[in-house]
Structure 1
Amino acid sequence: MDSKRMELYTALGYRAPKAARLGRTESQLEVEAQELAPLGPEELGALRARFLSEPDEVLYLARESLGAPISELDFARVLQEAEQALRAPEAALEALRHPPFQAKASVRLPPDFRFPLMTAEIPIDPSSTKFEPVADLRGWLLFTGKAWLRGTTVPRAPFRRHDSERHPSRFRYPLREPTQGRSVEVALFSDFGTGEYPARYVARQLLMRGERLDCAVHLGGVYYAGRQGEFDAHVAEPLEPLLPVTTLLTLNASAEMRSGGTPYFRYLDERRGAARARQVQEGSYFCLASERFQLIGLDTAYFEPDRHRDPELLGWLEAVLSEGRQRGAVNILLSHGAPYRYQASRASPLLEDLKALVVDEARVDLWCWGGSPYGALFDRAPTLPFVGASLGHGGLPIARVERGHTAPAPVRFLESRPRFPEWTGLRPELGNNGYVSMLLHADGAVELRFVDWMGNPRCKARLAREGRGPLVIQHLEESSDA
């Protein structure tokens, strides 16, 4: 590839595999052959031709990838910009080095902006628009657009199944039993793999928990396309200090499957290496179990985006849910795909896949998912007999959501604040990023603490059974701090 074009790709957000891995076991060419390649000039021309002949189909694919209503006009404009940039990469690089001063100055941090966790090691640039659906459409186009072309194939990693002789664990692992003096703490976060400052401040909070944090679960989402370099830079590097003291588990997502899942599975193996006794995950689904609790992670991406209907996986899920029910444990389901969404009138196809287990037989007490671009807590409903938590606000720039819209289940908490405090006037259109700290108590109660990227508590909820009844939200306290 032309060196200037590669320099342009890097400036726009392409991440090559970490140099330390190259030459050890695989060359850069071997690693890059196992992932989605950026669009080159010829492929960009092919995408333009497809857009001109099938605009609705291409726009549908783009909107699904970005989760945003990209307009035909914006798409045509960015196609032209991308073609011009690839024709004249040096001029495009010069424009990136010298952005308009007025645009950058209008979104500077106020000099008195501070929060306790703020550090010069993680600089905050409010002017950055990386990964935003429209403002960074050129990046999305170049680094995911190849998936919108007919005939694009990326080698798919072999799927790992629990019943293989290579996995005597059957993907079931022990979870520490909570005691009266020491609850089990689990961090849940999703769509974290961006490398941007909100995600890095989330990682900073997890690292500060140290040995108090028993487990951390990323519910999936490594962007732009789950490449090896993106795993290296956006996931492995910021979370590396966590591995000696905390069990880290990661779920698969549609973004990871754009590169066939090979970098995702490779990262599972690398985590278990280097004598890290706490890193046990072998496949893209798992069950962490104690006597009182089960954390059950699903793969809702490998076979189909946001679906779970492979018969063997359904059989495994039915078995672990049944065992949890038999001993009276709290069954907590984790996935990237969402069973339903805020501002939607109906449940998703994923919930239809699991309807027999989750709805008809009510074997799930709490379902936490990523994928939906906001933080929220939902109550049970007559046709939805589980508490739900949306956690897709870990690192991507997300549009600010407003309260008052409908949802399939009652909304008990919705993260509707902007990313920055309102007094700053900065980026009011962006939603707040964050994660959940989940505490599993010795009495069988579950505590969910929603925390934003700056470390501000946003909502605290206690879930518990009343007698032999279902898990319910007993108490909820939302932060009133500005």
Structure 2
Amino acid sequence: MSDIHHREIHHLRGTPRSAIRSVRRTHWQTVKDQKSVIQKLAAPLPRKKALQALRRRALAVRRHTTLLTRATFDWLSNYLRFILRSRHPFPVYAGSAEGNGIFPLESQCCIALAGDWGSGTTNAYKVGDAMRGWEPDYTIHLGDVYYVGSREEFDRYFLPEAAWPRGSRGSFALNGNHEMYSGGYGYFERALPQLGLQYKSKPAGQPASYFCLENEHWRIVSLDTAYYSRTLPFLELFDTYFIRLHRAQLDWLRETVFRDAKDLRPVLLLSHHNWYSAFESEYRRLGRELQPYLDKVFLWIWAHEHRFSGYGLSAPAGQGPAVRARCLGHGGMPVELGHHPKRERRLVFSDDRFNADSTREISAVYRKDRLGYCGYAVLLLDGPLLQIEYYDEDNTQLMVEVWENDGSAQPKGSLPVPPERLTKYGEWEELVS
């Protein structure tokens, strides 16, 4: 548990958002290496050596073909082991004042955030070190430990002391779709007991995959949008409909978090999945389920897409109220450039900067790929003021937004440092207006 493990960035390139393909990726490198051996064996030889090598070639190709077939069967066995396994039971809060999922937050504190971080790449560890440099009071992971969030992957790429940065007062992790591809056992049974608030210098454990941190001025509501990511075999390829909130979580929102209709503290909403997107799939069922509370949400930060982007007030057609959003899914996965907006969603910016170091690292395998920067965010709470700062893996400051609680559910926002380094799609003021 003390040592971290490293993955080459090209191993994570193009990681799919489906259980069948993600489990397949656990065997991908072995199969790829075996294919390269076959290609070398099939290369032309000088004529005088051809006859002597023919039998040797045939035997070698047969042997490696057998290994490839065996790897395929290993993957299929692994996939069926994961996909046919029962989903881990959904932990719920007892409902008492001491165990209702709402945790007190200091008036002044620092919270570091990153999403899709559990990859084991050099970029992820750079982000982790940068977050650690803030000496945050709390850290929150927005979900996804690759490839399938198994116990072994948490032990290798997330839980070691030198891996995911821990807050001095507590650390939390949201559930991601990749965690659920193995049934959620690594996340619920291995990770959560080692997270949560610090108690006598030790983590007290994170009781559930959803929680609320609050103080006199702000509420940070963090939801599990990934529990139903894994469905019946192959159906997860069409998972936009299946992504929804567990009934117990909806009850918790209604009966505990938003029970007092007169509570006007602004809500910062955190989740793994995105409600809307200008680039990829939208999970609109989430917006329908959260519709009664969206007028209290001044900002929604999600992950899932491996990019850093920002939106003004937006909502899919026929849904609402509109909500501002930031996509923070670039914590450690390869940020593949060249994707253009597909739909109108009041996209204001996206980080399309070229990262020469990451591109150079991946070019030995994928010569035409161009990669961008990973990064993270820091929340600085100071009474009625909330400052959110966004940085890349090199600790370059990209944007600063400041929110002031004026007694309403929608605080006043300003941009002392607009994201001028990034690709602009709309007016900067849309981010806070």
So what's the TM-score if we normalise by structure 2? 0.69
Cross-structure match for 1:378 = 311
Aligned mate of 1:163, from 94, 107, 128: 94
Shift of the 406–464 alpha-carbon distance from structure 1 to 2, 3 Å rule, reads farther
2:106 counterpart letter in structure 1: R
Cross-structure match for 2:212 = 287
Q: 1:163: Cα distance to partner?
A: 2.5
Q: How does 1:308-457 map to 2 (within 5 A)?
A: 308-322=244-258, 326-343=262-279, 348-358=284-294, 362-381=295-314, 383-401=320-338, 405=341, 407-420=343-356, 429-443=370-384, 445-457=385-397
2:252 counterpart letter in structure 1: W
Q: Secondary structure at the match of 2:134?
A: helix
Q: Secondary structure at the match of 1:365?
A: strand
Q: 1:159: Cα distance to partner?
A: 1.9
Shift of the 142–378 alpha-carbon distance from structure 1 to 2, 3 Å rule, reads farther
- 1:269 equivalenced with 2:210 (yes/no): no
Shift of the 465–238 alpha-carbon distance from structure 1 to 2, 3 Å rule, reads same
Following the alignment from structure 1 to structure 2, what is the Cα–Cα distance between the partners of residues 345 and 219?
Answer: 18
Following the alignment from structure 1 to structure 2, what is the Cα–Cα distance between the partners of residues 191 and 143?
Answer: 27
1:389 counterpart letter in structure 2: R
Following the alignment from structure 2 to structure 1, what is the Cα–Cα distance between the partners of residues 86 and 421?
Answer: 49
Cross-structure match for 2:235 = none
Q: 1:283: Cα distance to partner?
A: 1.0
1:268 counterpart letter in structure 2: L
1:258 counterpart letter in structure 2: Y
1:366 counterpart letter in structure 2: L
Q: 1:172: Cα distance to partner?
A: 1.6
Following the alignment from structure 1 to structure 2, what is the Cα–Cα distance between the partners of residues 142 and 452?
Answer: 41
Cross-structure match for 1:174 = 104
Q: Structure 1 unaligned segments of length 5 or more: list them.
A: 1-9, 14-61, 96-139, 179-183
Following the alignment from structure 1 to structure 2, what is the Cα–Cα distance between the partners of residues 65 and 462?
Answer: 37
Contact 2:143 2:303 in 1 (8 A): yes
Following the alignment from structure 1 to structure 2, what is the Cα–Cα distance between the partners of residues 243 and 292?
Answer: 24
- 1:204 equivalenced with 2:129 (yes/no): yes
Following the alignment from structure 2 to structure 1, what is the Cα–Cα distance between the partners of residues 312 and 29?
Answer: 46
Following the alignment from structure 1 to structure 2, what is the Cα–Cα distance between the partners of residues 314 and 143?
Answer: 39
Shift of the 294–141 alpha-carbon distance from structure 1 to 2, 3 Å rule, reads farther
Following the alignment from structure 1 to structure 2, what is the Cα–Cα distance between the partners of residues 394 and 425?
Answer: 17
Shift of the 150–173 alpha-carbon distance from structure 1 to 2, 3 Å rule, reads closer
Following the alignment from structure 1 to structure 2, what is the Cα–Cα distance between the partners of residues 190 and 318?
Answer: 27
1:442 counterpart letter in structure 2: G
Which one has more relative contact order, counting CA pairs under 8 Å at least 6 apart?
A: 2
Following the alignment from structure 1 to structure 2, what is the Cα–Cα distance between the partners of residues 479 and 142?
Answer: 50
Following the alignment from structure 2 to structure 1, what is the Cα–Cα distance between the partners of residues 373 and 163?
Answer: 25
Shift of the 472–431 alpha-carbon distance from structure 1 to 2, 3 Å rule, reads farther
Cross-structure match for 1:20 = none
Shift of the 146–215 alpha-carbon distance from structure 1 to 2, 3 Å rule, reads farther
Cross-structure match for 1:136 = none
2:129 counterpart letter in structure 1: R
CA shift digits 1:317-368 (9 cap, x unpaired): 134542576333121111111111123596633223323332xxx1222111
Q: Secondary structure at the match of 1:203?
A: helix
Following the alignment from structure 1 to structure 2, what is the Cα–Cα distance between the partners of residues 348 and 158?
Answer: 25
Following the alignment from structure 2 to structure 1, what is the Cα–Cα distance between the partners of residues 140 and 268?
Answer: 12
Structure richer in strand, relative to its length: 2
Cross-structure match for 2:84 = 153
Q: 1:249: Cα distance to partner?
A: 0.2
Following the alignment from structure 2 to structure 1, what is the Cα–Cα distance between the partners of residues 141 and 100?
Answer: 21
Shift of the 241–199 alpha-carbon distance from structure 1 to 2, 3 Å rule, reads closer
Q: Secondary structure at the match of 1:318?
A: helix
Contact 1:318 1:357 in 2 (8 A): no
Following the alignment from structure 1 to structure 2, what is the Cα–Cα distance between the partners of residues 79 and 304?
Answer: 22
Following the alignment from structure 2 to structure 1, what is the Cα–Cα distance between the partners of residues 192 and 301?
Answer: 21
Cross-structure match for 2:221 = 296
So what's the TM-score if we normalise by structure 1? 0.63
Q: 1:316: Cα distance to partner?
A: 0.8
Number of equivalences: 358
Following the alignment from structure 1 to structure 2, what is the Cα–Cα distance between the partners of residues 221 and 425?
Answer: 23
CA shift digits 1:396-418 (9 cap, x unpaired): 11211556x35553223311112
Shift of the 401–177 alpha-carbon distance from structure 1 to 2, 3 Å rule, reads farther
Contact 1:413 1:459 in 2 (8 A): no
Shift of the 346–173 alpha-carbon distance from structure 1 to 2, 3 Å rule, reads closer
1:352 counterpart letter in structure 2: R
Q: Secondary structure at the match of 1:317?
A: helix
Q: 1:214: Cα distance to partner?
A: 1.7
RMSD over aligned CA atoms reads 4.3
Identity %: 23
Q: Secondary structure at the match of 2:131?
A: helix
Q: Secondary structure at the match of 2:143?
A: coil
Contact 1:380 1:472 in 2 (8 A): no
Cross-structure match for 2:236 = none
CA shift digits 1:260-301 (9 cap, x unpaired): 111112221134699535655211111111111111111112
Following the alignment from structure 2 to structure 1, what is the Cα–Cα distance between the partners of residues 181 and 107?
Answer: 38
- 1:65 equivalenced with 2:18 (yes/no): yes
Shift of the 152–236 alpha-carbon distance from structure 1 to 2, 3 Å rule, reads closer
Q: Structure 2 unaligned segments of length 5 or more: list them.
A: 9-14, 42-70, 231-241, 364-368, 424-433
Shift of the 457–141 alpha-carbon distance from structure 1 to 2, 3 Å rule, reads farther
Q: 1:474: Cα distance to partner?
A: 2.3
